[in-house]
Amino acid sequence: MAFSNLTSKAVLLYDEWIKDADPRLEGWPLMSSPFPTTFIIGTYIYFVTSLGPKLMENKKPFELRQIMALYNFSVVTLSSAILKKTMILIFLMSGWATGYSFRCDIVDYSRSPTALRMVRTCWLYYFSKFIELLDTIFFVLRKKNNQVTFLHVFHHSIMPWTWWFGVKFAAGGLGTFHALLNCIVHVVMYTYYGICSLGPAYHKYLWWKKYMTTIQLVQFIMITGHIGQIYIMDDCPYQYPIFMFIIWLYGSMFLVLFLHFWYHAYTKGQRLPKMAKNGISKDQ
């Protein structure tokens, strides 16, 4: 009886909470509730941390060079499409070049063409995070289990999960700045991985690999600095301050981790064994 009452209260709280969701996303794929996203992420975590390694334990690693090359370049194509046709066109035309101040930019909940373009690009960014889960699955199938670190799995799990809430409740405003930067970085990263997966004959074209960590560091500095403004502004009526704290916490955490890597890799001249080889990381 007590469990039944607790369940009923939880359902009532959920129904009350979901009433504040953005009605413009009614009927959109994966947007009905957080449970489909949670199920996908839960299945992903179970496979890459338990089921996958057990299935591969007594098997030879799969040779996935051609598949990985296709995958990496496909992701670059997707990221480029999002970046050039969506991020630059929609993010910029939906606010970042047409009125956003790069300070306290609130969410536009209207049904204007500009606001609806922003909603679409936020959903596309969220959906792209599910495609990137294949990164870890390839690690498992190739028996590169040392690359399936807590940090890697945490990053790939938390991004689509938190972005479901971002899209559902706050598709726009200053909370989208880090997505714009992240897509730019991903185009560069997956270009690197695509060339790398073609084989040793193409590695001579990867002379710029040492700059990848710098690019990632600049990304986190810009994200943390931009979102941190909310704590020093006198009055910012952004609708969901909790999202600002999550973005700031996430950006700060990865900034510290990458500064730690930078110190060991470039200041002390030592590579970290489980961090990114060749001066880069696939966690961002």
Strand segments, DSSP code E, in the chain are none
Residue partners of 160: CB distance under 8 A and separation at least 6: 37, 40, 41, 126, 129, 130, 133
How many other CB atoms are found less than 10 A from the CB of residue 218?
12
Query: Which residue ranges make up each domain of the chain?
Result: 63-279
pLDDT in tens, 132-164: 899 899 999 999 888 898 888 998 999 999 999
On whether the CB atoms of residues 266 and 196 are closer than 8 A, the answer is no
Q: How do residues 16-49 score in pLDDT, each as one tens digit?
A: 888 999 999 999 999 999 999 999 999 999 999 9
Contacts for 44 with CB less than 8 Å, ≥ 6 apart = 133, 136, 137, 156, 157
Residue with tokens 């704590």: 231
Per-residue pLDDT at 92: 59
Report the predicted TM-score, pTM, of the whole model to 2 decimal places.
0.84
pLDDT tens across 47-102, in order? 999 999 999 998 888 877 778 778 777 776 666 655 545 555 566 566 666 778 88
Catalytic residue selected from 155, 156, 186, 226: 155
Alpha helices in 170-202 (DSSP H): 177-196
How far is the first Cα of the chain from the last one, in angstroms, to the nearest whole number?
Answer: 47
| Spatial contact of 192 and 212, defined as CB atoms under 8 Å apart | yes
- Judge residue 234's burial from the number of C-beta atoms within 10 Å of its C-beta, 0-12 exposed, 13-18 middle, 19 or more buried: exposed
Known catalytic residue at 203: no
